Amino acid sequence: MKSTTARLDRFISQHSGFTIADTRILIAQKRILLDGCLADSIQQRVTEFTHVILDGKCLQDNAPVYIKLNKPKGVVSATKDKMHSTVLDIIEHPQKDHLHIVGRLDFNTTGLVVLTNDGAWSRKISLPETKLEKTYEVTLSKSLTEDYIAVFRDGIYFGYEDITTHPAHLEILSDYRARLSLIEGKYHQVKRMFGYFQNEVLALHRVSVGGISIEDVEVGEYRHITESEREIVDRQCVRSDS
């Protein structure tokens, strides 16, 4: 999730034949454009997606990419794997080699995987403090009872980490199926929570993360995350930080 940002004078010295000291003169001579506007300070920040023009020549023209993919079972949440297909093998995109995964899923877990080249955005939505809600559909080996709802709401103690999970919302869909919403992502958390009742998770499908839903994407398919979806997530992140 690497995100790069640099002062304008350092960026110019790294991407042209001019030195750091030259940048002040270039600005005065109105020879640098940042996102279509004349540069006005050597201290302006250049991010990985700033469009930079010097003397009519483009020095950087990267575009942010935001993708949601409906991961099938048996596909690895990784960019490379010698034995199995990865989520990147499913995607056909000119910038696919620059994408990273935001919130991995286990080998046999299906559903929403988010990929982007925007390190700042992925960091923001991945931080535990952000507390973005993640929703899963779960299929179980034993029938569910109303007791589960209260226990999940109160939190379940994990002895290995010596922590109690945050309150989670459980909706029983049928005898063996439930929808679970939680704000954490502990190791195998969903399976361990149902393990409290000695109830094995047979299938796990991530439906959504914040305002990003996978319900409009077929299994094995992907599409670009819309601006409105990102705006919803950004607002949720702001509320969580406040």
Query: If you average pLDDT over residues 199-219, what whole number do you get?
Result: 95
Distance separating alpha carbons of residues 114 and 118, to the nearest angstrom: 11
Q: How confident is the model at residue 1 (pLDDT cuts 50, 70, 90)?
A: very low
Query: What is the predicted pLDDT for the residue at 82?
Result: 85
Q: Are residues 56 and 70 in the same domain?
A: no
pLDDT in tens, 18-55: 999 999 999 999 999 999 999 999 999 999 899 999 99
Whichever domain contains 30, its CATH number is 3.10.290.10
61 is catalytic: no
Among 41, 60, 79, where does a domain finish?
60
Domains: count for the chain: 2
**Tell me: the pLDDT tens digits for 141-197?**
999 999 999 999 999 999 888 999 999 999 999 999 999 999 988 889 999 999 999
| 242: pLDDT strictly greater than 70 | no
**What is the residue range of 119's domain?**
66-241
- 2, pLDDT greater than 80: no
pLDDT for the residue 239: 59
Q: What is the CATH number of the domain that holds 207?
A: 3.30.2350.10
pLDDT digits (tens, 9 = 90+) for 74-108: 999 988 888 899 999 999 988 888 899 998 899 99
Query: CB–CB of 139/202 below 8 Å?
Result: yes
pLDDT, residue 238, reads 61
The catalytic position among 40, 106, 154, 175 is 106
DSSP the chain: ----EEEHHHHHHHHSS--TTHHHHHHHTT-EEETTEE---TT-EEETT--EEETTEEEE-----EEEEEEPTT-BSSS--SSS-BHHHH---TTGGG-EEES---TT-EEEEEEES-HHHHHHHHSGGG---EEEEEEESS---THHHHHHHH--EETTTTEEPPP-EEEE-SSSEEEEEES---TTHHHHHHHTTT--EEEEEEEEETTEE-TTS-TT-EEEPPHHHHHHHHHHHHHHH-
The share of the chain scoring above pLDDT 90, in percent, equals: 75
